[in-house]
Amino acid sequence: MNKSLKKFIILLLSRKAGGRKVREAQNVVASMGRAKRLYKQLIAITHPDRNPGKEERAKELSAQLNAYRYNLQELERLKTVIEQELLV
């Protein structure tokens, strides 16, 4: 995420919060960055070509990843599912 977008999000969220929650806005931006990195890591792991014999499940998990690509909490939940089902 580029710096100008981060600054814009922080400014937008801090205005909505009345200027008192800048730290919370920074946490949101940091969470978005972590979600992006985790999404890229997990989408590479769940690619059907990397999971012979489990192609259908890999496709299902990839679809779920795409649906929750910006939700860090759901991505972390899916990471445990992927580790249990595909990386066995």
Examine the pLDDT at 6 and tell me if it is beyond 80: no
**pLDDT digit string, tens, across residues 37-58:** 999 999 999 999 999 999 999 9
Residue boundaries of the structural domains of the chain = 3-85
Q: pTM for the complete prediction?
A: 0.72
Alpha carbon 24 to chain centroid, angstroms: 18
Q: Which tokens go with 4?
A: 């100008």
> What are the distances in angstroms from CA 52 to CA 57, 64, 67, 69, 86?
10, 19, 23, 24, 10
Q: Looking at per-residue confidence, does 14 or 53 come out higher?
A: 53
